[in-house]
Structure 1
Amino acid sequence: MTFCSRSIAPLSLAMALATGGAAAQDMTEISIVVFGPPSLGAFLPPIIEAQGFDTAHGLDITFEERTPDAYAAQFNSGEFQVGGSAALLTVGLAEARGVKATYLFNLFDFWGAVVTTRDDVQSLADLAGKDLAAATGTTNYQMFRWLAEQQGLDLGEVTAINTATPGLVGYVMADRAAAVQLWEPAFTSLTAQNPDVRSIDLDIVETWESFAGSPSIPYLGVAAHSDWVEANPEAVEALYAAYKEAAEWTSANPDEAAAIIAGRDGSDSVIANYAELIRNNDRLGLNVQWASDMGTEIRKVYEVGTGIGYLPQTPSEATIYGAGGDK
């Protein structure tokens, strides 16, 4: 996974702008709803706040943490105009339900895993007739459904045990299911706690490249209601720059970034896990790019969504910010 090549000012220059140019004008206030930690959506906000990447671009961002259900309800209703834990398939589904929103830019590419400690589960095919714990309402699970189908596994032969995302690690630790489907940052935390955990090969890279012709799988990013975007084009550009700088700083400073993301109550082991995850971007998938620069890949993700019946119809081009050349 690589960052997009647009140049961003170094932190020293950005902070100078914050105390100079940005100070000379009113800050644009933005409230962004995100998932609470541990989650990918909660990964960059503390970096943006701690390093002042928002004020460097004339923004005063307030990040509001919500559970996934509350996030969806409050973003779709318009209570929050901007969402920082926007799963791409969820944006497409929201449009089908009458919500006019657009995927502004990508933050993380898709990565998921199925883990087990059972000797009789060596491949996805071995899950037939067994149980699988998963957060079945998430888009990560929907993408896994597609990958499983590509490997010939009929999930109708698997008993899915639905649980909330925070409970997935507990299922593995207590050996309560034959396998568990999860993603980062839970995967790194889990494998650090239990060295007996094995990951079943999902063949993500080769399967996706064969299907989409690209290694990138746009998955989670920042979305906003279309009317807000139309009224705040400069804020959209500044928001992208703030996230982009935060991503590049995080990649360049994994240990310091890990401590910030873990927070004051983060243990040494949690910080070490986050630092390892940042260094191994193949799993983290940090990939900040404008939606329009990933238009082909986004449409292929939509194709997956309609193919598995998660999306009732193909989302419109309006859900891809800048696809019509209006960025």
Structure 2
Amino acid sequence: MTRTVFWKGALLAAASLMAASAAQAQESLEKLSVVVFGPPSLGAFLPPVIKAQEFDHAHGLDIEFAERTPDAYAAQFNSGEFQVGGSAALLTVGLAEARGVEATYLFNLFDFWGAVVTSRDDVQSLADLQGKNLAAATGTTNYKMFNWLANQQGVDLSGVEVINTAPPGLVGYAMADRAAAVQLWEPAYTSLASQNPDIRTLDLNIKGAWQEFAGTENIPYLGVAAHRSWIEQNGALVEKLYDAYSDAAKWVAENPDEAAAVIAGANATDDVRKNYADLIRNNDRLGMNVQWAADVREEIGKVYEAGMAVDFLPEMPTDATIYEGGPAQ
């Protein structure tokens, strides 16, 4: 009896020590709130992986990802309610500076990719949209970059009736054939293609046009940004945040099926999980490319130039919008 009591006591003591150790380790983590778009979106792609695989803990962080609609995201990040944003479109960082918000693009997560799809026989190229209608989310930076690409093909969108809708409605427009064409991007494009394999994608010549303009195929598009005041006070956390995202991106690329299940969520259907896995394997469309902003400084400058060319940016953003840190610097 005495021996049994001894071992029970020893086990309880060990369990208490383990619990205390775990609690102490949790308390030692730096807590960080990052606002992101809700799914489906590129900004919501890596956060569930970071949490499920505890890549934030591995680098001394305990990140809380707060999901918001695009409008709420912009309002709450620009106001400073959230100091760090994980759905930071590069062009919106430049625009924010012009409006008095001192934000800096820390690192890139995804390069630009977009598409225009149609099921109409009389629409074979962008030029065929003249006099017809196009459904698009005109307030997004993806649409602004598409506008620039259309200009490179000599297509003046003023001759196209553009129907503005929120991003979640774009797939519905294409499925119902409610417009001659629809401009959209991932992950909506993969979802649409799986539901309607007869949809056709018009040639935007993204790589060719950008190569001619910028001398590279890389188009920094969406990443993580922060208020400069926060960076000044929390510079040590920036590299930890980068490492957590970088590890997540590597794991996703190496484990597409497992990653797809995490990203899609527990209630997703097999078809949705398959769509995400296919998208991960086709990185030409996904464009996952985690890089420090300073390492793609020239490319960022070209994106700003494109933003000015389509009158999205009122002036060239300053170098302060590009984070100068990172191990390579």
TM-score (norm 2): 0.91
Q: CA deviation at 1:23?
A: 2.9
Are the equivalent residues in 2 in contact too, given 1:87–1:139 (CA < 8 A)? yes
Q: How does 1:85-104 map to 2 (within 5 A)?
A: 85-104=87-106
Q: What residue number does 1:114 align with?
A: 116
Identical counterparts, % of pairs:
70
Are the equivalent residues in 2 in contact too, given 1:25–1:58 (CA < 8 A)? no
Are the equivalent residues in 1 in contact too, given 2:103–2:226 (CA < 8 A)? yes
Q: What residue number does 1:61 align with?
A: 63
Structure 2 unmatched ranges of 5 or more: 1-20
Q: What residue number does 1:206 align with?
A: 208
Q: What residue number does 1:303 align with?
A: 305
Per-residue CA deviation, residues 139-198 of structure 1 (Å, 9 max, x unaligned), is 000000000000010100000000000000000000000000000000001000001100
Q: CA deviation at 1:215?
A: 1.1
The residue identity in structure 1 corresponding to 2:52 is: A
Q: CA deviation at 1:204?
A: 0.2
Question: Which residue of 131, 134, 154 maps to 2:133?
Answer: 131
Are the equivalent residues in 1 in contact too, given 2:292–2:326 (CA < 8 A)? no
In 2, the alpha carbon distance for the partners of 1:24 and 1:143 equals: 42
Q: CA deviation at 1:307?
A: 1.2
In 1, the alpha carbon distance for the partners of 2:119 and 2:315 equals: 38
In 2, the alpha carbon distance for the partners of 1:214 and 1:323 equals: 22
Return closer, same or farther for 1:257/1:326 CA change in 2, 3 Å cut-off: closer
The residue identity in structure 2 corresponding to 1:105 is: F
Question: Which residue of 211, 226, 229 maps to 2:228?
Answer: 226
In 2, the alpha carbon distance for the partners of 1:188 and 1:324 equals: 33
Structure 1 unmatched ranges of 5 or more: 1-18
Q: What residue number does 2:244 align with?
A: 242
Q: What residue number does 1:266 align with?
A: 268
Q: CA deviation at 1:244?
A: 0.1
Q: How does 1:12-91 map to 2 (within 5 A)?
A: 23=25, 26-91=28-93
Per-residue CA deviation, residues 97-118 of structure 1 (Å, 9 max, x unaligned), is 0000100000000000000000
Q: What residue number does 1:287 align with?
A: 289
Are the equivalent residues in 2 in contact too, given 1:115–1:199 (CA < 8 A)? yes
Q: What residue number does 2:16 align with?
A: none
Q: CA deviation at 1:242?
A: 0.1
In 2, the alpha carbon distance for the partners of 1:287 and 1:87 equals: 14
Per-residue CA deviation, residues 230-276 of structure 1 (Å, 9 max, x unaligned), is 11111100000000000000000000000000001111000000000
Q: What residue number does 1:10 align with?
A: none
For the aligned residues, what is the CA RMSD?
1.7
Runs of 4+ in 1 over 2 A off after TM superposition: 22-25, 323-327
Larger Rg: 2
How many residue pairs are counted as aligned between the two chains?
A: 308
In 2, the alpha carbon distance for the partners of 1:239 and 1:324 equals: 11
Matching of residue 146 in structure 1 with residue 148 in structure 2: yes
In 2, the alpha carbon distance for the partners of 1:165 and 1:291 equals: 27
Are the equivalent residues in 2 in contact too, given 1:33–1:83 (CA < 8 A)? yes
Q: Secondary structure at the match of 1:54?
A: helix
Q: Secondary structure at the match of 2:55?
A: coil
In 2, the alpha carbon distance for the partners of 1:23 and 1:102 equals: 31
Are the equivalent residues in 1 in contact too, given 2:32–2:62 (CA < 8 A)? yes
Structure with the higher fraction of residues in helix conformation = 2
TM-score (norm 1): 0.92
In 2, the alpha carbon distance for the partners of 1:26 and 1:295 equals: 34
Are the equivalent residues in 2 in contact too, given 1:43–1:261 (CA < 8 A)? yes
The residue identity in structure 1 corresponding to 2:273 is: I
In 1, the alpha carbon distance for the partners of 2:242 and 2:326 equals: 18
In 2, the alpha carbon distance for the partners of 1:325 and 1:264 equals: 36
Q: CA deviation at 1:25?
A: 7.1
In 1, the alpha carbon distance for the partners of 2:270 and 2:115 equals: 25
Return closer, same or farther for 1:323/1:303 CA change in 2, 3 Å cut-off: farther
The residue identity in structure 1 corresponding to 2:301 is: R
Are the equivalent residues in 2 in contact too, given 1:295–1:323 (CA < 8 A)? no
In 1, the alpha carbon distance for the partners of 2:25 and 2:58 equals: 9
In 2, the alpha carbon distance for the partners of 1:34 and 1:267 equals: 24
